[in-house]
């Protein structure tokens, strides 16, 4: 949280992707994981291409969720 006298958030200089994503994978009653980040899709990418790439990224970190159900997915331009 910034104070009224702050000029920027501490990590404001960190590079970010053009899109912000959130993905929740769930194995009902056993495990769940919500991950988020930013992404720079290739210009010819479709939303589905990005979804598949992000899901693979998350399941590479959590292999036990490879067969999990997608409970939530959001992909939005990373701008206000």
Does residue 24 lie within any of the structural domains?
Answer: yes
Res 13: pLDDT: 65
Does residue 36 lie within any of the structural domains?
Answer: yes
**Which residues of the chain are modeled with pLDDT < 70?**
1-13
What pTM does this model have? Answer: 0.79
Report the number of distinct structural domains present in the chain.
1
Does residue 65 lie within any of the structural domains?
Answer: yes
Res 76: pLDDT: 97
Res 5: pLDDT: 42
Res 14: pLDDT: 74
Does residue 29 lie within any of the structural domains?
Answer: yes
Q: Tell the burial category of 9 from Cβ atoms under 10 Å away from its Cβ (0-12, 13-18, 19+).
A: exposed
CA 63 to chain centre: 17
Pair 74, 22: CB distance under 8 Å: yes
Does residue 8 lie within any of the structural domains?
Answer: no
Q: How far apart are the first and last CA of the chain?
A: 18
Nearest to 35 by CA among 20, 47, 27, 23: 23
Domain that residue 49 falls in: 19-77
Res 3: pLDDT: 33
Res 38: pLDDT: 96
């Amino acid at each position: 949280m910034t104070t009224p006298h702050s000029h920027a958030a501490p990590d404001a200089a960190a590079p970010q992707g053009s899109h912000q994503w959130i993905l929740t994978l769930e194995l009902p009653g056993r495990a769940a994981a919500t991950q988020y980040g930013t992404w720079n899709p290739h210009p010819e990418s479709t939303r589905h291409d990005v979804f598949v790439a992000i899901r693979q990224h998350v399941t590479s970190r959590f292999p036990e969720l490879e067969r999990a159900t997608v409970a939530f997915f959001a992909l939005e331009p990373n701008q206000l």
